[in-house]
Amino acid sequence: MTQHIARRRSCRGVNRASRNGFRRSATPAARPVGDEPGPGPDGDRRRLPARRAAAALTDHRTRTGIARVRRTNPAFRSWSPRSEDTSLSATPPGRYTSAAIATAVLRLISQGAFGLTPSTVTAVPILDTASTTKQQHLFSRRTNSLLGVRVAGCGSFVPEQVVTNADLQTRFGFDPEWIRQRTGILERRHAPPEMATSDMCIEAARRALRSANVDPQDIDLLVCGTFTPDFQCPSTACLIQDRLSLDCAAFDLAAACAGFMYAMVTAAQYVATGNARAALVVGGDCMSRIINPADQRTYPLFGDGAGAVVLTAGDPHQGLLCYQMGADGSGGPLLDRMAGGTRSPLTHAGLDAGDQFLRMDGRSVFKWAVRLVTDTIDLMLESSGLTVQDVSLFALHQANIRIIDAAMEQLGIPPEKVYSNVHRYGNTSGGSIPLVLDEALREGRIERGDTLLMCGFGAGLAWGTSLFRW
């Protein structure tokens, strides 16, 4: 009985420590449950008998089994997406180790020392049994292609009000040069109170339609990538469709800073398969409405803006030479906005706590983004058989110039191949990539037949990357 209680208390302690996943603990540790002394949930040290032949691993959120460690002498390495810190521990022969850690936070590297048998109960696996300690890729290596689509025209819009770093010095008291050095941002645009996300998207869409010289009545699909909609419903896409007098299907895609890439790939599938003559793809966000004006960690980073492209049928060699969409929901707490959904309806208490504002673990997001951008660009080049020299322009999400510079340096990409406007607009989320495309096109940086690499990444965590033949 004493042994049973000790084991139960130990498991309860691990669950309690990991209830909030990696938000509370940067490096979850595996807890020994053999007869080797180990810390109990209350700080005491207990001897827990190794009575079972294998230790079960459990998903603490669903209470379902995941896998069993069946052999001896395993080496455990835990990895946290919040800090990318790692820890390595091993148990002596004959000992067993169990853990209840938030899904996808713990990765176990066995070096061939043990095997895993999945549970028959449905659960999300969190174990990696690779036989090497080499750093794992963040995502699947599977890619796709979608040809026969071209960008017929681009458009963009930003509000007139400019908020400079000097303006923020008055608000927060720090040196404007400090912001530039850490982010590359010199200024950003903020929408006036009467302007909403749909207003910016509509103007960008009008300019894209004029650029493409496409009759609005030929638009068969409108997809809007935004996570700052005017309302919960109707969708922002429906508001745009009405204002532009379009006769087409319209819907939103909420993928934050990756929203435009998700929207573009989705719309391209309709055009490439002949289910739409032309598609209007819009990306835009009014970030100034969801950032805390008293938070110096997020307020300087974001701005408002929107962009749009018109997709039509193209030659067989045009379109998405290679693309991948991906997500890692385990990193959701790194960048979130909690209030307003069914899980956390907006209340007076929530407003007082600032739940309506965007929250971000900037350091962890930075580390993840650099690694993600580097890996996903490498994947695009590897899958397509192209090299850096074959790419005419890199149009990346404009989150932070240090993210872009770090990834480009690791990949050996020369600065002249990278377009950046983050210094003028900050992070416009869904509007970021279409703003880059429109400005680069108008400046003569993009010509028909060029190969572009686009990469969007952000909250979710979600990302979308493509090699596009213009």
Going by pLDDT thresholds of 50, 70 and 90, the confidence category of residue 93 is very low
Q: Catalytic residue, from 397, 400, 421, 455: name it.
A: 397
Contact 376, 398 (CB under 8 A): no
Average of pLDDT values for 105-130?
39
Q: If you average pLDDT over every residue of the chain, what do you get?
A: 78
The amino acid present at 310, given as its one-letter code, is V
Work out the number of other CB atoms within 10 angstroms of the CB of residue 355: 18
Active site residue 15: no
pLDDT confidence bin for 17, thresholds 50/70/90? very low
- The pTM for the full model equals 0.71
CA-based nearest residue to 223, from 272, 156, 269: 269
pLDDT in tens, 352-389: 888 889 999 989 999 999 999 999 999 999 999 999 99
| Sign, CA torsion 190/193/197/203 | negative
pLDDT bracket for residue 165 (50, 70, 90): very high
Per the model's pLDDT, the better-predicted residue between 207 and 91 turns out to be: 207
The residue written with tokens 């049973």 in the block is 4
- Selecting among 154, 421, 427, 455, the annotated active-site residue is 427
Catalytic residue among 248, 257, 286, 322: 257
Which residue, 116, 132, 98, 123, is CA-closest to 28?
98
Q: In the chain, pLDDT over 90 holds for what percent of residues?
A: 60
- 218 pLDDT exceeds 50? yes
CA 435 and chain centroid, separation:
19
Of 50-59, 103-112, 385-394, the range with the highest mean pLDDT is: 385-394
**Comma-separated ranges of CATH 3.40.47.10 domains in the chain:** 144-469
Amino acid (one-letter) located at 183? T
pLDDT for res 38: 38
Is 397 one of the catalytic residues?
yes
pLDDT value of residue 251:
98
* The CATH number of domain 144-469, selected from 3.40.47.10, 3.40.190.10, 3.20.20.80, 1.10.287.610: 3.40.47.10
Q: Which two tokens stand for residue 88?
A: 């390595």
